[in-house]
Amino acid sequence: MYQINLTVNIGHNIKRIREVKNISRKELYIDAKISAATLFRLENNKVKYINTDHLHRIAKCLSVDIRELLS
């Protein structure tokens, strides 16, 4: 398991893509197998590091390449 520094606005990208695709926060955290609190903190940039496994699962659930979350 690796962690990456959230110097890019990953949280904003997750929220934007989720909303464009009409995916609820609840659907995403359940499908990505992360806690509601984790997703909330990510989307609101309340974390400094993110588990890369979480990031890969979120990208998969959003049907995007992980690079789209990092841009």
Domains of the chain plus CATH, in order, are 3-70 (1.10.260.40)
Confidence at 65, pLDDT banded by 50, 70, 90: very high
Q: What is the DSSP string of the chain?
A: --EEE--S-HHHHHHHHHHHTT--HHHHHHHTT--HHHHHHHHTT--SEEEHHHHHHHHHHHTS-HHHHH-
Please tell me the distance from the alpha carbon of residue 59 to that of residue 71, in angstroms, as a whole number. Answer: 13
Confidence at 71, pLDDT banded by 50, 70, 90: confident
pLDDT digits 0-9 by tens, 3-53: 566 556 899 999 999 999 999 999 999 999 999 999 999 999 888 788 899
pTM given for the model: 0.86
Q: Is the pLDDT of residue 56 over 80?
A: yes
